[in-house]
Amino acid sequence: MSTDTPVDPPTNDKPVTDDKPVADDKTVADDKPVAEAAESNDAKQIGAAEQEGQLDGSSEKQKGSALHETEHNVEVKLADLQADPNNPLFSAKSFEDLKLSDALLKGIRQMGFQKPSKIQEKALPLLLLDPPTNMIAQSQSGTGKTAAFSLNILSRIDISNRSPQALVLAPSRELARQILGVITHMGQFIDNLKTMAAIPDPTRRNQRFEAQVLVGTPGTAMDMIRRKYIDNTYIKILVLDEADNMLDQQGLGDQCTRVKQLLKTPQTVLFSATFPQKVIDYANRFAPNANVLTLAHEELTIEGIKQLYIDIDQDTDKYATLLKFYGLMTQASSIIFVRTRDTAQQLERRMVAEGHKVAQLSGALEGPDRDRIIDQFRNGQAKVLITTNVLARGIDVESVTMVINYDVPTTMRGEADPETYLHRIGRTGRFGRVGVALTFVHDRKSWNQLNEIAVYFKTDLTPIDTSDWDEVEEQIQKVIKSSRAGKSTKEMTEIFTGGA
């Protein structure tokens, strides 16, 4: 393999502090028997994520979005410095160019892919190189990154061997289950393929994981390998998704490193939506000698989302304002993001007491309860989901047309947090659709924080005039309906400017 090449940060990326606001509640203690310790440990990371305001993509089979081409400009830096990144060998204009099996091609077509997205066009030829080469890639959810590393995994495993051969690590059980769904859906025509989730599950204690592909959380994967319930002998691919999120959650980055140390010499693939310096440093250690794919900073804003804000007189008026949007929120599906689990629980209690049907998802819930709630949200039984940043990363639910930032995302020092904002609003407007992101501001400080985020992403945020609530509802309704009609961002903006 060629000499180690450090990752360069994305063009014009400015550092964003990774300290997050601390909630009042406490995380669950993990002094339990070993089988329960992994479950508590993974839950503890999510709890810490909410305490510190942390950040947290699915197939149509799971009510996720249909796959759609993206138009991001991808910069490639090859581990082999003598190689030309513009060589046609390092780009794939069609899936047939990749010489995939008929079963895998059939699975890709079944998922809705017609040709590789921009990320896949560059990533897939490099992932599929022989001998296998490490990769570090910057990619947002919605760009086809999960399908890219899934395709690589399904191309490399030996179906005749039922032992684990690929391990994907995700920062939350929700994202792990979703990734597993994508891999299983893509591989549905591959005979004898077995996939499993390596997440805390009390029904699977003291049982071996016998599947070629495992997707799990770091604490559980590490514990199961150490206790020999996961045979690490044949694992040849290790994928780390949402690396920046992993490093934001205390201990997850170290757990991922320990998992890798328990493996022999796997092809290591690391994906991250953002590359602050600590992620760059970690990526170079975790996946040395890697081919690197990055996006320019200005490519990170999400096209197709109408970003609005509403200026509320004071913090105590936020709840009353939220209720005025309830009818709009239930037209399709909506997510309300709050900073702490306490706020999530309080909002749920108050809204349910007033007869509104909402669900609340936070790390305070046990794993099976979280699975049940996210599944209800996916299938439409629950239209409004109140959550902390457990769901800010990667979770893809097709019907989401509105995201409400009940609290402006900030760091622990009270500074604007553009990365969290990006991932929150990315839950709507999925794969080319149109969506609404509404942020509440209630004083000069919160307004300044939101303005900093708008400046960071070079995007415009439209204020809502609350003097006429009927007009507000009509405007937002037009955007929600336009998402079904496939309106462009330009057309959507004209709705709010009257064509000006």
Q: Looking at domain 34-298, which of 3.40.50.740, 3.40.190.10, 3.60.15.10, 3.40.50.300 is its CATH number?
A: 3.40.50.300
What pLDDT does 295 receive?
66
- Taking CA atoms, 173 is separated from 220, 221, 393, in Å, by 10, 12, 12
405 three-state secondary structure: strand
Mean of pLDDT over the chain:
77
Tell me if the pTM is above 0.75: no
Above 50 in pLDDT, residue 39?
Answer: no
Q: Tell how far CA 465 is from the center of its chain.
A: 32
Number of Cα atoms under 13 Å in the Cβ half of residue 132: 17
Torsion angle in degrees (nearest 10) through CA of 35, 37, 38, 43: 130
**Cis ω before 409 (30° cut-off from 0):** no
SS3 80: coil
Give the residues across from 77 on adjacent strands: 292
Of 334, 283, 311, residue with least CA distance to 467: 311
Is-contact 154 181, C-beta < 8 A? no
Quote the pLDDT of residue 161. 96
Section 461-483 average pLDDT: 78
Tell whether the model's pLDDT for residue 129 goes beyond 60.
yes
pLDDT digits (tens, 9 = 90+) for 168-218: 999 888 889 989 999 999 999 999 999 999 998 888 888 999 999 999 999
pLDDT band of 460, cuts 50, 70, 90: confident
Q: Where are the domains of the chain?
A: 34-298, 305-497
- Cα angle, residue 59 at apex, residues 150 and 187 outer, rounded to 5°: 45
Assigned token pair, 169: 């690590």
Query: 87 pLDDT band (50/70/90 cuts)?
Result: low
Q: For position 89, what pLDDT does the model report?
A: 62
Model pLDDT for residues 312-352, shown as the tens digit of each residue: 887 778 998 998 888 777 777 889 999 888 999 999 999 98
Is 428 a residue whose pLDDT tops 80? no
Average pLDDT of the residues in 381-398: 75
pLDDT at 124: 93
Secondary structure (DSSP) of 120-182: HHHHHHHHT-SS---EEEE--TTSSHHHHHHHHHHHH--TT--S--EEEE-SSHHHHHHHHHH
Query: DSSP letters of 458-498?
Result: T---EEP-TT-HHHHHHHHHHHHHHHHHT--HHHHHHHHHT
Q: What is the CATH number of domain 305-497?
A: 3.40.50.300
- Span 380-407, average pLDDT: 79
- pLDDT of 24: 33
3-state secondary structure of 27: coil
Local confidence band at 492 (pLDDT 50, 70, 90 cut-offs): very low
Residue 63 pLDDT > 60: no
Q: What is the CA radius of gyration of the chain?
A: 22
CATH topology of 34-298 equal to that of 305-497? yes
